[in-house]
Amino acid sequence: MERMGRTVMDLSNLTTEQSNPATTQIDRLDTLSMLKLINEEDKKAAVAVGAVLPDIARAVDLITSKITEGGRLFYIGAGTSGRLGVLDASECPPTFGVSPHMVQGIIAGGVRALVNSLEGAEDNRERAISDLDERNFSSADVLVGIAASGRTPYVLSGIEYAKSLGASTIAVSCVENSEAAVLADIALTPVTGAEVIMGSTRMKAGTATKMVLNMLTTATMIKLGKVYGNLMVDLHATNDKLRDRARRIIMTATGCDSERALAALDAANGHAKKAIELIMKKSTD
């Protein structure tokens, strides 16, 4: 479509852009009924993710293999999708004790876009390439392009560039047969349908996306040995909250008391796994 000399994009064929029949009267509901309706729609996000678990498993195995070989995991996205990628990446070092370079999130518009809406940034294809180059992205790495619509130019450009380097690519989108899904090596497509508020993909699509990203990094870290049982043993206690969490992890893993756990944690400079190893070694001496 053309309007005043500019091309007007037509997104009417995307399921995420449809009007949701279940919520057309939501503005007339009392508060509790409104929230119940939102909650019912949110449940559909988990179902949508469940439908693509085999694809997520393939992605986890790919990511694990690449990281084991020395590669890194990158997320790239714009708006809500970019923020979710940055959030997931930023949680990996404190949770699993890995280098912040292992999992990195890139958002269109840079750091400023994390707290301010810079909608025009998603159309900048050249910037996606320079953002990857600035991080020395290479064929050894994995790129996960995140876009609810699967058509964001910034994300598509990133995927195309990664493929041109010979890198592995994964697309996370929430509409059937998206451009990103067709372009990437592995497509993760939880189809969440029309949003509670028409086109507001920060809602169900955002929820489903966060669930997928949680699975990608959590399962990968488990496979990399960063978890013992269900304990985040590679935790590095850098504040009071993490110190208490580490103490309880050490106690659970070794059966020791609180005092001994804290002493071992101090001896290990805040590293829970090292503290566990110290206690285990003394127990066998």
What is the CATH classification number for the domain harbouring 78? 3.40.50.10490
Other CB atoms within 10 Å distance of the CB of residue 190: 26
Q: What is the mean pLDDT of residues 249-276?
A: 95
In a domain, 161, yes or no: yes
Q: pLDDT tens-digit profile of 181-190?
A: 999 999 999 9
Convert the pLDDT of each residue in 60-102 to its tens digit: 999 999 999 999 999 999 999 999 999 999 999 989 999 999 9
What are the Cα distances from residue 76, in Å, to 118, 128, 208, 242, 256?
A: 15, 8, 16, 29, 43
- Domain range for residue 86? 46-223
> What is the C-alpha separation between 264 and 266, in angstroms, rounded?
5
For residue 134, tell me if it sits in a domain. yes
Do 60 and 190 share a domain, yes or no? Answer: yes
Token pair for 8: 């007007």
Point out the least confidently predicted range of 49-53, 130-134, 218-222, 226-230: 226-230
User: Could you tell me if 214 and 277 lie in one domain?
Assistant: no
Is 10 within the bounds of a domain? no
User: Do 259 and 177 fall into the same domain?
Assistant: no
The type of residue at 193 is G
Q: What is the pLDDT of residue 281?
A: 86
What pLDDT shows up at residue 112? 87
Shared domain for 204 and 266, answered yes or no, is no
Between 13-17, 52-56, 201-205, 217-221, the lowest mean confidence (pLDDT) is in 13-17
Using alpha carbons, select from 76, 104, 79, 106 the residue that is nearest to residue 92.
104
- pLDDT value at residue 119: 67
The span from the CA of 45 to the CA of 188, in Å, is 13
The residues assigned a catalytic role are 91, 122
Cβ atoms 185, 168 nearer than 8 A = yes
